């Protein structure tokens, strides 16, 4: 039987690449986002992940049509860049709403369907959660939380044979860079040019980052795996950085991160 996969935020970037790869591999894909993707092959249901009612309705609609939901991919997300001290509360609330409540809402709505199908939840975290970055503190915090949420959830759902994985990409070339909410920075604050420099560097790495197709391939692999990893990244460099994180002292890692993004 054809697998049915629901992806949040597949109107662009990583989500769209995943949706395209899956639908070209005979998988029925539903994208839940606020705007429609430019791909006809992907079923679209308008949905804001911060609004639980919209998610409940979307999942009901999909189940009525397909009679099964096998995989749910929590991909929708956003970034904000700037100092902790100067960030507006409304932006902090927004990122928590999308990156955390979006995942929590979707997961709560999805679990009953996935218990029935003995399916999978795949959460898109970030290496920013593993290596928290200055001037991306709120983003890093949401992605660290997704990592720990995924591990805890995996054990809650283990007896139901629902598998949970967290994929933590490094920098990926998508509209994420353009969509990031950036703090208005001026050099006359105590941070001087540090905020602008840190964000500029990150943006440069993102725009030279890997193709979202690589993340899509990893997600497709996880969908096919009987025992997928609980937490993983994509690409040799990022795998090596995860390894370093485990063997090097935190003090040293923080110093290197400061040199790269904090100066």
CA distance linking residue 47 with residue 37, whole number of Å: 13
Q: By the 8 A CB rule, do 5 and 22 touch?
A: yes
Examine residue 105 and tell whether it contacts ligand NAP (CB under 6 A): no
| Contacting residue, 6, 29, 78, 219, with ligand NAP by CB under 6 A | 78
Q: For the chain, how many residues are written?
A: 263
| Contacting residue, 3, 5, 8, 19, with ligand NAP by CB under 6 A | 8
Q: What's the token pair of residue 172?
A: 């990926």
Instruction: Assess whether 139 carries a catalytic annotation.
Output: yes
Q: Considering the complex, what minimum distance in angstroms separates the CB of residue 200 from ligand NAP?
A: 15
Q: Which is nearer to ligand NAP, 134 or 191 (CB)?
A: 134
Set 131, 139, 191, 261: catalytic member: 139
Q: What's the token pair of residue 129?
A: 């959660």
Examine residue 43 and tell whether it contacts ligand NAP (CB under 6 A): no
Examine residue 28 and tell whether it contacts ligand NAP (CB under 6 A): no
Examine residue 109 and tell whether it contacts ligand NAP (CB under 6 A): no
Question: Per CB under 6 A, which region of 20-28, 105-113, 169-177, 226-234 contacts ligand NAP?
Answer: 169-177
Residue 64 dihedral angles phi and psi, to the nearest 5°: -60, -35
| Contacting residue, 81, 134, 209, 228, with ligand NAP by CB under 6 A | 209
Question: Per CB under 6 A, which region of 150-158, 173-181, 216-224, 251-259 contacts ligand NAP?
Answer: 173-181
Q: Which long-range contacts (C-beta less than 8 Å, at least 24 apart) are formed by 56-65?
A: 56/109, 58/6, 58/30, 58/32, 59/6, 59/109, 59/110, 59/113, 62/4, 62/6, 62/30, 63/113
Those residues whose C-beta lies under 8 Å from the C-beta of residue 106, and which sit 6 or more positions away, are 8, 32, 49, 55, 72, 74
The residues that touch ligand NAP, with contacts defined as CB under 6 A, are: 8-15, 33-35, 48-50, 75-78, 98, 102, 124, 126, 169, 171-172, 174-176, 179, 206, 209
Residues catalogued as catalytic: 139
């Amino acid at each position: 039987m054809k697998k049915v996969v629901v992806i949040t935020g597949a109107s662009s970037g990583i989500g769209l690449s995943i949706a395209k790869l899956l639908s070209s591999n005979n998988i029925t894909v539903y994208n839940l986002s606020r705007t429609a993707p430019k791909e006809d092959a992907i079923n679209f249901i308008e949905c804001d992940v911060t609004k639980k009612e919209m998610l409940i309705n979307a999942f009901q609609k999909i189940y009525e049509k397909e009679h099964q939901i096998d995989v749910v991919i929590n991909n929708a997300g956003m970034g904000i860049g700037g100092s902790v001290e100067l960030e507006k509360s409304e932006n902090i609330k927004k990122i928590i709403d999308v990156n955390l409540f979006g995942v929590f809402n979707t997961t709560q709505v999805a679990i009953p369907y996935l218990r029935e199908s003995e399916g999978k939840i795949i959460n898109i975290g970030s290496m920013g959660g593993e290596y928290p970055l200055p001037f991306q503190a709120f983003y890093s915090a949401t992605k660290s939380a997704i990592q720990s949420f995924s591990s805890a959830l995996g054990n809650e759902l283990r007896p139901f044979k629902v598998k949970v994985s967290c994929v933590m990409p490094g920098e990926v070339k998508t509209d994420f860079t353009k969509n990031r909410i950036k703090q208005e920075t001026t050099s006359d604050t105590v941070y001087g040019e540090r905020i602008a420099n840190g964000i500029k560097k990150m943006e440069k790495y993102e725009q030279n980052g890997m193709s979202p197709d690589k993340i899509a391939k990893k997600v497709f692999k996880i969908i096919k795996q009987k025992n997928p990893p609980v937490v993983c990244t994509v690409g040799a460099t990022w795998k090596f950085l995860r390894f370093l994180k485990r063997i090097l002292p935190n003090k040293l890692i923080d110093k290197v991160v400061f040199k790269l993004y904090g100066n």
